[in-house]
Chain A
Amino acid sequence: MASVHDQMAAAGKVKRSKDLPQGVERLKEEHRKVVKDCRSQIEHWKKVENDYESLQERLRTLPDKLSYDIMVPFGPLAFMPGKLVHTNELTVLLGDNWFAKCSAKQADALVEHRKKHVKNTLDDLQKVMKNFQNRADFTDDLEKLTGDTGDFVDIREEVINEEEVTKGKHRLAHKANSKPKQVYLLELEEDKEKKEGDDERTTGVLSEEELWARLDELERQEELQDERYRYTRLDSTDTNGEDTTSSSEEEKEADGGSDVQVNGHQKENGWLPTSITSQMNGTNGSHPEDEEEEDCDEEAGNGLPTIYFSHTAEFKKVRINTGKNTTLKFSERNEQKAQAKRKKKSGKSNGHSPHESYKITSPADIYRVFVDLVNGEPIPRKSILKSRSRENSMCSDTSESSTADFEERRAAFGRSWSHDDATHSDTSDGITEEESPTGTSPRTNGRFEAFTGTVIEKDPLPCSIPHLTIAPPALPTIPERKLEEVGPEAPQEPPKRMSKFKATQLHQK
């Protein structure tokens, strides 16, 4: 009995997987049928209208003569010559077996009235047809969406062992009315399936001052958020930015080593990075690293291109392969630190939206635009970087380069930089870190970063479109890049991170 049930269940499952395309096919069939029906009906009514038109013509000419010589139909097969008389007297069928005798002109009016009805019917049919056409198109889109060819990506993480990831209590969403002394808990909404493992955050209690400072930070973040909305199109970037900002702030605050949590700013936008960034545990350098999410591999299974996450202890970068071959990368720590720095410095946050690289509005842009490609990563030329001044321009073209590059540069910059502008660059977290302490140049950036990740697009887009920065040189395809980057980045991460952290601390002091 049990076996039968199992079989049936299995069969049912198999059937279900086949059902979807079948169902879609069927739906499309039905749509097409309706549309065809509508078309034929429209044809019919158009014919009727034409008939009425010609009838009207006849009615107008009929009373011209008193009588006409015609061939009168005589049965189904014969005609007879005859005369048409009383040309102005017509018996009109009104419908439902009602007749009326009227003149040609009155008949004309009646016909006109009927034509109105026909037109109404025609209009309705047209509307219905259009409606169903739209529906059919929508199902097409839906099919594409669920199929492999869509632009949408499904992100999953399969949690094998839930316990190992947990480092502390679960976070709850930050409530606006919570008292300062309450423990901040963050709760991450789950769009994705099987994301439980990602949700851990460590909770901690912040001191009162820290909490107040944190509240201020959050306010500022919200403002930034609004600005970012204007400047960015990517939801994910927003979230990333916010997350990193918050986390960076936490980091800043929790200097002593207490854990901080990301605030409830988290916008759930379905991007895995969001959740990942929020995982940041403040000060503890090693902690976040361990928790960092990792490695998304694109898998084109289940219809949707799927990104599978798995936790690794290596580095905190997340590369996501979207359907459009864009890679979103960011290093949370970098961003956090950058943000922390920036916040400390100027109270501004990196609301800088990563703008197109091609727009050169300041000397810095030139440097930004002309970058070298090393190992497939756009690296700004060393000399340029050194004197990189990021006044009002946006920063971060560097965001285009991989975070690995950033780290390298960071190390270099930490020593040699004297920057005025703290960058708003999203990804140039490391850079901004170094920059901010050194410079206090007035930053009047109209642009703010929308996110703190690197977006590398396969095809450089025209700069007129404000969007994520694009490295001018053509980048290798994302999968290649990923492969490239995953390798080099992983080993680089651990050593660099420590150094960066230290550098930050040094700066802070």
Chain B
Amino acid sequence: MAEAIHKKLQSELEKYQQMQKDVSKSMSSRQKLEAQLTENNIVKEELALLDSQNTVYKLIGPVLVKQDLDEAKATVSKRLEYINGEIQRYESLLKEMERKSEQHREVLSSLQQEYQRAQGQAVGKV
């Protein structure tokens, strides 16, 4: 009986650890998105400082491609929106994962208690 519980405990523990890893992964990608967000904001502001006389280039791979200032501005704005959307998505995903991991934690704790009780009984019997 104790053995079975032990096995269950192990499997649950693994699942929980997996969940935790996923959570941390989403967290890090979310942080990356945050950094990109700030950067694009700065680019937007700096583009505003320029005038059309300056040529704007975009680095695509090893090539600097000439861009129009207005086009550049539009592109940057679109990118900003995209990043915002991604962040939202990740937020909800993260919440969901948190909830699930919480549930898992509870299951784990109850299993642990059971296991300990079983252990105690085994000891008592012995």
Contact = CB atoms under 8 A, between A and B. Distances in A.
A97 B59 contact: yes
Contacts of A160: none
B56 A100 contact: yes
B55 A94 contact: no
A95 B76 CA distance: 10
For this complex, into which size category does the number of interface residues on chain B fall? Answer: 20 to 34
B61 to A, nearest CB: 10
Interface string A82-113: 00000000010011111111100010011001
Interface in A108-147: 109-110, 113-114, 117
A108 to B, nearest CB: 11
Contacts of B58: 97-99
A114 B54 CA distance: 19
B68 to A, nearest CB: 12
Interface residues of A, number: 19
A1 interface: yes
Interface in A337-367: none
Contacts of B59: 97-99
A4 interface: yes
Nearest to B61: A97
B40 interface: yes
Interface stretch (B9-17, B95-103, B118-126): B118-126
A95 B46 contact: yes
B49 A95 contact: no
A1 B39 contact: no
Contacts of B47: 94, 98, 100
Given A94-B46, A113-B46, A4 B120 contact: yes
Interface in A283-329: none
Nearest to B124: A1
B124 A4 contact: yes
A99 B123 contact: no
Nearest to B55: A101
B79 interface: yes
A4 B67 CA distance: 76
B79 A96 contact: yes
B118 to A, nearest CB: 11
Interface in B36-69: 36, 39-40, 42-43, 45-47, 49-50, 54-60, 64, 67
A143 B46 CA distance: 50
- Chief secondary structure at chain A's binding surface: mixed
Nearest to A109: B49
A100 B54 contact: yes
Contacts of A100: 46-47, 50, 54-57
A98 B40 CA distance: 10
B45 A113 contact: yes
Nearest to A111: B46
Contacts of A114: 42, 46
Contact of B50 (A97, A106, A117): A106
Contacts of A95: 39-40, 42-43, 46
Contacts of A4: 120, 123-124
Nearest to A112: B49
A97 to B, nearest CB: 4
B27 interface: no
B72 interface: yes
A110 B46 contact: yes
A10 to B, nearest CB: 15
Contacts of A91: 57
Top 9 A-B pairs ranked by shortest CB distance?
Answer: A99-B57, A97-B59, A95-B43, A102-B54, A95-B39, A4-B120, A94-B43, A101-B55, A100-B56
Given A96-B36, A98-B58, A100-B54, 19 more contacts: A5-B120, A94-B56, A95-B39, A95-B43, A96-B39, A96-B79, A97-B58, A98-B56, A98-B72, A98-B76, A100-B47, A100-B55, A100-B56, A101-B55, A101-B57, A106-B54, A110-B46, A110-B49, A113-B46
19 contacts: A4-B123, A94-B43, A94-B46, A95-B46, A96-B36, A96-B43, A97-B59, A98-B43, A98-B67, A98-B76, A99-B58, A100-B46, A100-B47, A100-B54, A102-B50, A109-B49, A113-B46, A114-B42, A114-B46
